[in-house]
Structure 1
Amino acid sequence: MDLFILYLKYYIIPTLLISTVLLTLLLLFKRIYYEQKKPLKESITNKVEIFLTEMILSKSNKEILRKNLSEFRKEIPLHKSWCKEMVINDMIRFKQNLKGKSAEHVNYFYQVLKLNTYSAGLIRDFRNYNKCEGFYHYQALDYKEGMPLIKPYLKHSNIIIQSNANMAYISLSKNIMESFKEFSAKISFLNSIKIMDIFHEKKVPMPKNIDEWIATNNNSVTRLGLKTMVYYNYRNRSKEIIALLKKEDDVLKKEVLITVRELFLTEAKEDLMSLFETSSVEIKSEILESLKVIGDESIIPFLKHQIQLETNKDIKLKAVDCLNQLNKTALDELADMDSDTAKMVKHVREIYL
């Protein structure tokens, strides 16, 4: 015990005190450095924005633009990484708000200032964050010349690098649908969302082979196909969509049920009611959500039966909500016979209770 107190007194406490003082000084110096550099960075930011605006809107030929860009390089510390990042971020912002030749000018400046080389260096860097930053530069600036550099990372062992590389590669591809051939076998939920964002941003026409997407054995591709059908409001394969409810994968079933209600596939009513009894709680909930949208008077007996016999409170509440949407009179009759149902009716009709 005495030895421990000795170590505490002469080693541990002094070490902690010195560490605390050093850390405080380090943070203080960093703050002072930041405040000193802040006016310079703000000045450069304004200079970059003014210059890019003038150059993008300029009708000068490439020789004059190149000369102006060369002079501009001397006016800012473009050899510094933070300055390169600042200029690239401004270019991305301009690119996202411009179209046509003006947008093409941004890529020309990107190359002349050799910022594409900086982005390539980030991709080759051993740090994951820098790699993803480089992918983002190429994707946001639509720099198609960078595709060969991205391609080796499409099947990278690190899932984050792989995901970001795939999204950049798909976005840069002239034929976005063809680029799926390079895609890894399984498409994650996050990648599906990113792909849908690309469809929206690039205004991609509906894939001609969309029917094949829901005929594959790869459930992740099927889910993406369903999302795509919803996005394009494509209802021509309603039978095939409904048939997917027979699959064992609950994640796929959930996507099918969302598709059924988003595309308003009223012909799916019987299939949903048949599926109900053998489904998990989550799928039952999704079925009732879909029936609430596509249902009609024909499903009232089914709903009344479920409300009377269902033991799971959450599912019963969903069924009450569904019946309330379709026929309030029928629901009131059930409420008169059961106090629990009456409470649920009050809840769905007065949501703040």
Structure 2
Amino acid sequence: MEVFKYYLINFIVPSLVIILIVVIVVTISDRIMYEYNKQYRLSIRQKITAFLTELLFTDAEDYENRISDFKKQIPYGSMWCKSMVTSCIIELKQNIKGEVTAPILDIYKSFGLQHFSEKLIRNRRWYIKCKGIFHFQVLEYEEGESLVKKYMDHKNPVLRSNAFIAFISLTSKKLDFLSDYPYEISLIDELKVMDLLYHKKFPIPKNIKDWITAQNPSIVKLGIRFMVYYNYTVEKDTLLKLLKADNNMIRREVIIALRELFLFEAEPVLIDIFASEEIENKIAILQTLAVIGSQKSIVFIDDYLHRSVNPATKLEAVRTLDTLDSNYLKSNFKENFEIIKIKKHVKNAYL
């Protein structure tokens, strides 16, 4: 026992005290260094932002020399610094609109940051690759098109999705090749493609029929949206055949397209398939008939209202009939208090 006390007092306790002191010192030092680095990097970022803004808003064609001098004023050799410069350039690109943004790509290239982004893309980690691809996409670095294309078949769905959108954003080619694209396209990516279509004004694919008859439902859906965007009705017969497609989503997309394209000849087909459709598609059909419907639709809806039990479709049917012929609704449903009530609700949602 005496021996243990001797070692405890003379060795163990002093060692623990020393370890505790070292831990405290290291923790405090790390905190001080963290705050210092934080402030240092903030000051570097402010310097970068000021320089880029000045470069962008002043008449300066000689970017190379000015940028070369500026690199000496910041720790440009560090990866974090290159990442920061890239981030600042992207922020300018995203926050400033108009012709003033034209030199941004030249500034990006004058910094040599395309090589930094390429290095990220070649990194073995997929999320690092996505960062590099994002740089190329946002900054519209078209020379990176071939490198991005390699990842459109990648097994990682997130990386593949990023490469898909980036490639469409960068490519100067027509989009005909997409008819053979085998992978599912998410709703978000569909919206991104349509946004790119709006901004880049891609011509309608010459093989649009191959799109709307493709095995990939995502491509069929995109093809239908392209037809609507370009008001393209040459393949209207093929479009009508898609109302018999097995995929419920495709049928709904066709129903919406028929409304947007004002294809009046679709009216009898929509009436025929109405009974076999799901609720959401029935509502879509009624909304389309409100646009392209004739007397035939009025008779159909009259009959449907007398036997319908689904409140959602009945409400839409009343709204459609009111759109097609408001007087018909008034004169033929005088004694039907449920329909009168629904009509009031159609006119005023608070009733």
| TMscore range, shorter length | 0.7 to 0.9
C-alpha distance in structure 2 between counterparts of 1:182 and 1:307, whole Å: 44
TM score, norm. by length of structure 2: 0.80
Find the partner of 2:278 among 280, 284, 297. Answer: 280
In structure 2, the partner of 1:48 is 48
* 1:259 has 2:257 as partner: yes
Find the partner of 1:199 among 192, 197, 200. Answer: 197
* Structure 1 residues 1-353: aligned runs within 5 Å: 40=40, 43-56=43-56, 60=60, 64-95=62-93, 97=96, 103=102, 105-178=103-176, 180=178, 183-353=181-351
RMSD of the TM alignment (CA)? 3.0
- Specify the SS of the correspondent of 1:207: coil
- Specify the SS of the correspondent of 1:332: helix
C-alpha distance in structure 2 between counterparts of 1:248 and 1:113, whole Å: 53
Whichever of the two has the greater Rg, that structure is 2
2:64 partner amino acid: R
Range with greater deviation from structure 2 (35-44 or 205-214):
35-44
1:252 partner amino acid: I
C-alpha distance in structure 2 between counterparts of 1:40 and 1:278, whole Å: 67
2:300 partner amino acid: F
* Cα distance change of structure 1 residues 287 and 178 upon mapping to structure 2, 3 Å threshold: closer
Shift of 1:152: 2.7
* Cα distance change of structure 1 residues 174 and 310 upon mapping to structure 2, 3 Å threshold: same
In structure 1, the partner of 2:10 is none
- Partners of 2:57 and 2:100 within 8 A in 1: no
* Cα distance change of structure 1 residues 196 and 300 upon mapping to structure 2, 3 Å threshold: same
Shift of 1:242: 1.9
Identity across matched positions, percent: 36
What residue ranges of structure 2 are gaps of 5+ in the alignment? 1-26
- Partners of 1:110 and 1:116 within 8 A in 2: yes
What residue ranges of structure 1 are gaps of 5+ in the alignment? 1-25
Shift of 1:256: 0.2
C-alpha distance in structure 2 between counterparts of 1:33 and 1:352, whole Å: 62
C-alpha distance in structure 2 between counterparts of 1:99 and 1:343, whole Å: 52
* Cα distance change of structure 1 residues 167 and 182 upon mapping to structure 2, 3 Å threshold: farther
1:204 partner amino acid: F
* Cα distance change of structure 1 residues 81 and 258 upon mapping to structure 2, 3 Å threshold: farther
- Specify the SS of the correspondent of 1:154: helix
